[in-house]
Amino acid sequence: MTGDTGGRPLIELEGIAKHFGEGETRVEALRGITLAVGPGEVVGLLGPSGSGKTTLLNVIGCVLEPSAGRMVLDGETVYDGRWTRRDLRQLRLRKIGFVFQFHNLLPFLDSTDNVALVLDLAGLPVAEARRRANELLDYLEVGHRRHAFPAALSGGEAQRVAIARALANRPRIILADEPTAALDSSRARVVVDLLRRLAVEQRAAILVVTHDEKIYDRFDRIFHLRDGALEVERPLTRSRRKS
C-alpha cells in the first residue's frame, strides 16, 4: 500500500549511482538505485553499515552530487547526468526537511528560534516566524521547552525540536538519518508515529534511515540496501494500519 493518494511520487530515482575516488581507492557507494516514494508515505531505509544509506540520503537531499542517473523531486528534475538546478540551497530550504541522528540544533538559539530560523530564512517576518515555530513546538508537545537552549533539552525533546525545524517550511520531502538512535525504544516509536502523522497530514514523503528493529513495523515500506544496491523490496507484514 503506497500512501493514500494517486498523485505522482515526490521522490523518483532512476539508476542513481555514486562512486567515491578512482582506481585502487574507488568505492561504489550506490549502484543503479531506482525507487519512488509518494506523498503520505513513510519509508524505512535499512542496511548494514557502509551499505550506502547516508550516501543515498545525501543524494536525495541535494548535498551530494550523484555520478549518474536521474532524480526528480516533487515533479522537478533535479539531476539528469548533472545538476539541472542552480540554486540547490533554495530547493533544500523550501522542499526538504532534514532530521539528523544527532539533533544538530544550533546551540546558541533557544527551541523557538531554532525552528523560527528556517522560516526567517524563507523570508517570514521574525514575529510571524516565532509564532509559527511555537505552534509547531506545541504540536510536537515540546512547547513547554520553547525557551530552553539545546544543551538543556533531553535527547527526546531535542529530537522533537529538530523535527519541528525540519517541518517548519512544510517541506514535501523529509529525510531522517537514524532519528531515533539517541532515543529509547518507546520514544523512538513516538517519533516515528509522529513522522507518520505528518506524512499523512502534510502529504509529505518521508524517508527514514534506521538500524532500529523495534520500529520496523511502523513503516509503510522498507528498502534494503546492500553494497550500494537495492535489494528486492520486501512487503511488510503489518499487524495494524493506522491511516
Ligand X SMILES: Nc1ncnc2c1ncn2[C@@H]1O[C@H](COP(=O)(O)OP(=O)(O)OP(=O)(O)O)[C@@H](O)[C@H]1O
Binding residues for another protein, rule: CB under 8 A, are 54, 57-58, 61, 63-64, 89-94, 98, 100-102, 104, 106-109, 113, 116-118, 120-121, 126, 129, 149, 165, 177
- Residue 93 touches which of another protein, ligand X, Mg ion, none (Cβ within 5-8 Å per kind): another protein
Please tell me whether residue 50 binds ligand X under the rule CB under 6 A: yes
Q: Is 186 helix (H, G, I), strand (E, B) or coil?
A: helix
Beta carbon nearer to another protein, 98 or 219: 98
Cβ 121 to Mg ion, closest distance in Å? 26
Under rule CB under 5 A, residue 54 binds Mg ion:
yes
Which of another protein, Mg ion, ligand X, none has residue 29 at its interface (CB below 5 to 8 Å by kind)? ligand X
191, three cell numbers: 517519533
Task: Name which position in 49, 186, 237, 239 contacts ligand X (CB under 6 A).
Answer: 49
Give the residue with the Cβ less far from Mg ion, 54 or 180: 54
Contact 69, 47 (CB under 8 A): no
- The item of another protein, Mg ion, ligand X, none sharing an interface with residue 49, based on CB under 5 to 8 Å by kind, is ligand X
Q: CA 117, 119, 120, 123: dihedral to nearest 10 degrees?
A: 160
Among 10, 38, 41, 55, binds ligand X (CB under 6 A): 55
Inter-helix orientation angle 126-139/155-167, to 10°: 130
Joined grid coordinates for residue 82: 548533472
Q: How many helices (H) and strands (E) does the chain have?
A: 6, 10
CA distance 241 to 122: 35
Q: Which residue has the cell 502529504?
A: 203
Which grid cell is 28? 561504489
Catalog residues that contact ligand X under the rule CB under 6 A: 20-21, 27, 29, 47, 49-55
